[in-house]
Structure 1
């Protein structure tokens, strides 16, 4: 039975599309970072540009590029594992170059990074989850860049209420997001980005807290009251000192005494 490549036909409306591909594809990724193996179950998004004269892309070729790049690490020896999520993204784009013509392509990998922490008083080990996203972009000039994003939950204590209520105040959970756009070979780790955000709150939050730990967190919060604006400024200042690239910071405070939330955002 003949196979008809309908994707190669001319569309009725001849308009180029900037991003066409697959999204929300769940798979596995094995990363060998500094000799330690990490296994992720990320969501992948892979897109390419589509010229006006092509009706569609060959979708299976994008999936093949992901599968082949992952298989190199999952089915081979541990030493063959990719050294970072962005290196995995670059490998996927390398596979795609041989499978599907395009001028511009993107790979986005969304997953959770689990980092062991120590509780502040009892010294117990707790495993803390952080949302992370890595993008690798091949631009039309052939140059590659990466976009790294982390999302960290912390807390804040309102200094205004504290100053006007004899030390009594309201507290809230806050979410800080840090994005860095940089050349692909720039040395930036997700762990360092997480630390930059987490250290900028009134206090970090923890999954495991015994009573002495709870007391330590509360004391730290009240000793370090901050507006959401303070948190955003501190993240931005720390990031500029620590990383090279385009930096974007957004912090949302989930207010405890309002029905709305508060946002602070900046970038360079």
Structure 2
């Protein structure tokens, strides 16, 4: 017989809203648009801890992920579409059988690889995008948080207007976050498209010389401040996606020693 020290009363009786494990890396298979993709995501799983309990059973949280992986893969590969949030909810449902709680959160961070065509040579380029999905279940209600981070470019319109058509260009990072009801169908790739289309130009992993020229011409034809990018992401997202929207854009300035940030909520 083992002593369940987690069930003992703590010396300081204060409830904790989020207790669990973080930075747990594992493997996940997702049937996405009819094709099975393998991810190596990082998980964070938390539940609430009542004031009368000393701790939670950490091994049960890890078990809930492992069980949900094998069960969700078998279940989801038979469907045409699935998602990371479906996997996160499957983890919560498994966890409910192993550990009592009123609130549970599962966060999944990974990299989504999308196929793109270069602008001139039309070659395939595989582009990485950082994504994060969170599922929160509390008092029977389920909501999700979807986040994407996209790298693009901007060309400064101020320098362009005051320097005989010459300007400085820089890499910019756009983040879009949506908090919404779990039942709302929002694709991460659609969120990525909204952000990427709002820069002066997208960036590419693979660029031949004609592609480089096409990107530069596009940037000069479409100069934008970081503020312009943030506003465009916000209005596009507000018109397409239900929920609370957060936009953050950082411009890694090429002629300054500092960066520039623009942020907005809707």
TM-score normalised by L of structure 1: 0.96
CA deviation map 1:155-180 (0-9, x unaligned): 00000111111111111000000000
Provide the residue aligned with 1:92 in structure 2. 91
Structure 1 residue 33: Cα displacement: 1.9
RMSD after superposition: 1.4
- Whether the 8 Å CA contact 1:72–1:80 is kept in 2: the answer is no
Aligned CA distance change for structure 1 residues 76 and 146 (closer, same or farther; 3 Å): closer
Provide the residue aligned with 1:149 in structure 2. 147
Structure 2 Cα separation of the partners of residues 17 and 96 of structure 1: 18
Structure 1 Cα separation of the partners of residues 214 and 81 of structure 2: 39
CA deviation map 1:111-130 (0-9, x unaligned): 00000000000000000000
CA deviation map 1:191-210 (0-9, x unaligned): 00000000000000000000
Structure 1 residue 34: Cα displacement: 2.5
Structure 2 Cα separation of the partners of residues 230 and 81 of structure 1: 38
Instruction: Note if 1:168 corresponds to 2:159.
Output: no
Structure 2: unaligned runs, 5 residues or longer: none
- Whether the 8 Å CA contact 1:82–1:88 is kept in 2: the answer is no
Provide the residue aligned with 1:249 in structure 2. 247
Provide the residue aligned with 1:213 in structure 2. 211
- Whether the 8 Å CA contact 1:152–1:177 is kept in 2: the answer is yes
Structure 2 Cα separation of the partners of residues 203 and 76 of structure 1: 40
CA deviation map 1:77-116 (0-9, x unaligned): 9427981100001100000111101111100000000000
Structure 1 Cα separation of the partners of residues 108 and 213 of structure 2: 38
Structure 1: unaligned runs, 5 residues or longer: none
Provide the residue aligned with 1:15 in structure 2. 14
Provide the residue aligned with 1:180 in structure 2. 178
Structure 1 residue 38: Cα displacement: 1.3
CA deviation map 1:4-24 (0-9, x unaligned): 000001111111111000001
